Structure 1
Amino acid sequence: MDHRKYKRGYFMPPVQSLEWCKKEYIESAPIWCSVDLRDGNQALITPMNLEEKIEFFKLLVKIGFKEIEVGFPAASNTEYNFLRELIENDLVPDDVCLQVLTQAREHIIKKTFDSLEGCKNAIVHFYNSTSYAQREQVFRKSKDEIKQIAINGAKIVKDCAKNTKGNFRFEYSPESFSGTEIDYALEVCNSVIDIFEPTKDSKLIINLPLTVEMSLPHIYASQIEYMSNNLHNRENIIISLHPHNDRGCAVADAELGILAGGDRIEGTLFGNGERTGNVDIITLAMNLYSHGVNPNLDFSDIPSICALYEKVTKMPVYERQPYSGKLVFAAFSGSHQDAIAKGMAYHKEKNLKTWSVPYLPIDPKDVGREYESDVIRINSQSGKGGIAYVLYNHYGIDLPMHFREAFSYYVKNISDEMNKELSPKEICDIFQNDFVNLSSYLKVLDFVFKDTDNNINIALNVEYKHQSFNITSSGNGRLDSVANALREILDFKFDIIDYSEHSLSKGSSSKAISYVYIVSDEKKYFGVGIDTDIIKASVYGLISAINHILKSLKGA
């Protein structure tokens, strides 16, 4: 690798333009134009067929796009036929405008207008490349010659529109704007503007594409601001931005470009497009949403959008794709899980109307995600708060604080050994099988309590070491009396440290659950009992804890 063969291929504006950086945030959503059916489709290994394109088009309409670029109808029969299918079958709502792309060449422009016959609303987007590298290496033409291509194209487009029935708007792109001298790009664009003479009711779109992303985002913003300040008839111009993602900064380019004067964004869902792709409109829109700005696009059901996108494009949505990926709201880290669980509880407790949960920039439910299945995910990196959150939210099991840490380590060790994430059901199965109503070594057969003035007496029948024992004892409480009875047949000491209980409110509201925490030989043991009778549940919890001691003593 020899870095010396590279030089900066972009051009700074001739006048410094930095007013944009004084703005704190974007105040309103830009005009959105989806180019999924052109840029996104041409970048697919297997392009969409007609049925898939129509399905995708309907999705874009449902999301709320009012401008949708449907292709290059003069370039191929497939794109021509798709456009005709939309028009002839009346698939385009009255408030949606179709956009078509054409080179600034006469025969292509004329065929493009032929393809638009009967279209209610259309944007004819014509372009020619203006960059230094393309002028020098591809076209081998001077600046004036390249500018003349743009001028001739504008005149042909204007003439064709006059002679074609329909409602047309126009867009011009100095393609490879990012590699064009900025004062020259301005000169070319102003020449096109002067031909169209846009008005308040018939504005012209000037698209300034980052055809190849060459600079830091602030450079692009300065270029946009310079163009915005110097374009002719600016009040009747819509500045459109079309960022590509070669440097991985397309979203930043777009956001800073809007601050600098951009009015409109061309991009794709999930950033699909040639090379590294276009700007991801979902990320841009949801960034606005997270700042309290209405994006005017509906992404309330991201899972279904992902499913249709993957179906028609045969491309996966990356698990970490902002807002859209399956794991973007998932927390595996213990500290993150704890903060999220406490934040969610705080919001519920305080009935807060604004969102500020740690680690979650937006409410996952706003984009169709579920807290229970999407937010807290359990593997060997998880913490006590996350595992407790899963048990409580899925099954109503509210682990006592002292039990949470022990159970979390128990679950994490299993996850580590299995080398996999554990589902809520798997976690509950571990809890049920390894802690609830255990009877492997010591089993309760029957018991009867009798209250006296000072104590509670018990007659206890248990099975231990393959023998049946009938024991009587007493204590200052029911659990204490059971413990005293068991001490008569067990050859180790133990003390009850804590006991708690609650009703199981989810799934089986008639049942009670008890948690018993005991210590033997300075080691902690936990047991859980579940039964419709709270007294039985507490006894089963103590027996379960003792079974853990017996298991450890046998080395099982």
Structure 2
Amino acid sequence: MTKIHIFDTTLRDGEQVPGCRLNKEQKLILATQLEKLGVDVIEAGFPVSSPGDFQSVRELGQKIKKSTVCGLSRAVKNDIKVAAEALEGCARPRIHTGIGTSENHIKYKFKSTEEQILERIKDAISYAKSFVEDVEFYAEDAGRTRNEFLARACQTAIDAGATVLNIPDTTGYCLPYEYGEKIAFLAANLKGLQNVIISTHCHNDLGLATANSIYGVINGARQIECTINGIGERAGNTSLEECVMTIKQHDELGFYTDINTPLLQETSNMVSREMGMIVQPNKAIVGSNAFAHSSGIHQDGVIKERSTYEIIDPAEVGVDKSSIVLTARSGRAALAFRLKEFGCEVTKLELDALYERFLQLADEKKEIREEELTFLSENKDSIYAEYSK
């Protein structure tokens, strides 16, 4: 089994969501939880961007001992210097520096040339290496970068001392097979990869971030950059919980992570609370409906054997149990199951009577809640007597 490193950028890329700004204390709370969760790398912030970010990176670096703490910078000497200063005293520091490599970025953003970009990569990595041993290079907009030039940029970074190569699909443009082929091309054509990790960093503009990250891993990447709840700019980043559980469920792929998965729901709730960002109910793994069943056919199956409609045991991600949600689409089996939870055992004939009354209630309400179940339970005898007339 091959380990996949989990690089969490909730506190940096995730925090770039409008309205989700975290203060230093909140970052410390979440960083402590991320370390407890078992992430390998915590990207703590962009130190040069503000005094607050600088101080957050500094304090996180001094408090976090097990996870690597990473500071972001552009391929600019002052950015790198400030990041290094913020990481002073850190047990496991990493500087994350890079530059755009796509034709679009080179032409319009930097008004530069490929050769000048390669020179900037060399200078930036070499300079970062003078401060810390662990230096990660990012090739921004790698998803739209020609593979041949991307390989030249990455080789330049390796030769200058980079320990990690980040291949971002910055705009979420790639299809999974395209992104996988890009990673495979690099794995096959770069020299000196024996001590270097290729990393994925995918955005979700087309809803493909998790799929692209998994295809990246299948094709040679050994680190996934992601966020809790998939938060991030625009449509968000790769979801940590989705990638981790995909790897865990598909052990035939031969990969594993060090994530303590029973803490996923707790961590999701903490991030949602601290950032004021509600998790959509149908969000995979951590959404409130992820283990909820309202269809009668599904409910009957889950009651008989959970695996009929659930590929993940809720306990694996920190959820107490599956939810049987009673609606007009629910069947007798679901009603009997929920009544039994209330301590109300019924015969088949009693169930027929209660089910008829249940359907009347369900047509009036979107969902049958505890008060309606209490009513059915407490009035079982009278409902059955009326039904039997």
Q: Which moved more, 1:397-406 or 1:208-217?
A: 397-406
Contact in 1 for aligned 2:353/2:387 (Cα 8 Å): no
Of the three residues 301, 309, 314, the one matched with 1:364 is: 314
Of the three residues 286, 290, 295, the one matched with 2:249 is: 290
User: Which of the two has greater helix per residue?
Assistant: 2
* Per-residue Cα deviation, 1:106-140 (whole angstroms, up to 9, x for no partner): 12212222222222211111111111111122222
User: What is the TM-score normalised by the length of structure 2?
Assistant: 0.94
Asked whether 1:429 is paired with 2:388, we answer no
Q: Secondary structure at the match of 1:186?
A: helix
| Offset of residue 303 of structure 1 | 4.1
1:124 alignment partner in structure 2: 95
Separation of aligned partners in 2, 1:405 and 1:296: 50
Contact in 2 for aligned 1:390/1:424 (Cα 8 Å): no
Asked whether 1:304 is paired with 2:252, we answer no
Separation of aligned partners in 2, 1:397 and 1:297: 40
Separation of aligned partners in 2, 1:401 and 1:227: 64
Separation of aligned partners in 1, 2:372 and 2:114: 68
Separation of aligned partners in 2, 1:277 and 1:148: 31
1:254 alignment partner in structure 2: 213
Contact in 2 for aligned 1:286/1:295 (Cα 8 Å): no
| Offset of residue 275 of structure 1 | 0.8
1:79 alignment partner in structure 2: 53
Supply the AA of the counterpart residue of 2:194.
Answer: E
Query: Residues 288 and 399 from structure 1, CA distance in 2 versus in 1: closer, same or farther, beyond 3 angstroms?
Result: farther
Instruction: Give the alignment of 1:93-492 within 5 angstroms.
Output: 93=65, 95-159=66-130, 161=131, 168-196=133-161, 204-292=163-251, 294-344=256-306, 357-371=307-321, 374-392=322-340, 394-417=341-364, 419-433=365-379, 435-436=380-381, 438=382
Separation of aligned partners in 1, 2:4 and 2:95: 20
Contact in 2 for aligned 1:238/1:264 (Cα 8 Å): yes
Separation of aligned partners in 1, 2:92 and 2:304: 52
1:91 alignment partner in structure 2: 63
Asked whether 1:62 is paired with 2:36, we answer yes
Separation of aligned partners in 2, 1:426 and 1:305: 33
Separation of aligned partners in 1, 2:349 and 2:106: 73
* Per-residue Cα deviation, 1:262-320 (whole angstroms, up to 9, x for no partner): 11011100111111111001111112222356532123144432331122100011111
Query: Residues 182 and 92 from structure 1, CA distance in 2 versus in 1: closer, same or farther, beyond 3 angstroms?
Result: same
Separation of aligned partners in 1, 2:264 and 2:79: 38
Contact in 1 for aligned 2:5/2:257 (Cα 8 Å): no
Supply the AA of the counterpart residue of 2:228.
Answer: L
Separation of aligned partners in 1, 2:18 and 2:133: 29
Gaps of 5+ in 1: 1-26, 162-166, 199-203, 345-356, 439-525, 528-544, 551-556
Contact in 2 for aligned 1:29/1:288 (Cα 8 Å): no
Query: Residues 365 and 109 from structure 1, CA distance in 2 versus in 1: closer, same or farther, beyond 3 angstroms?
Result: closer
Structure number with greater CO (CA < 8 Å, separation at least 6) is: 2
Contact in 1 for aligned 2:354/2:376 (Cα 8 Å): no
Q: Secondary structure at the match of 1:112?
A: helix
Supply the AA of the counterpart residue of 1:34.
Answer: D
Q: Secondary structure at the match of 2:168?
A: strand
Contact in 2 for aligned 1:242/1:265 (Cα 8 Å): yes
Separation of aligned partners in 2, 1:406 and 1:168: 72
| Offset of residue 46 of structure 1 | 3.9
Query: Residues 548 and 178 from structure 1, CA distance in 2 versus in 1: closer, same or farther, beyond 3 angstroms?
Result: closer
Supply the AA of the counterpart residue of 1:47.
Answer: R
Separation of aligned partners in 1, 2:237 and 2:282: 17
User: Which of the two has greater strand per residue?
Assistant: 1
Larger radius of gyration: 1
Separation of aligned partners in 2, 1:249 and 1:385: 37
Separation of aligned partners in 2, 1:303 and 1:214: 29
Separation of aligned partners in 1, 2:388 and 2:197: 75
1:466 alignment partner in structure 2: none
| Offset of residue 83 of structure 1 | 1.7
Q: Secondary structure at the match of 1:37?
A: coil
Gaps of 5+ in 2: none
* Per-residue Cα deviation, 1:45-77 (whole angstroms, up to 9, x for no partner): 140111111111111011111211101111211
Q: Secondary structure at the match of 1:206?
A: strand
Separation of aligned partners in 2, 1:226 and 1:140: 27
Supply the AA of the counterpart residue of 2:160.
Answer: I
Q: Kindly tell me the number of residue pairs found equivalent between the two proteins.
A: 386
| Offset of residue 85 of structure 1 | 2.2
Separation of aligned partners in 2, 1:314 and 1:115: 27
Contact in 2 for aligned 1:121/1:168 (Cα 8 Å): no
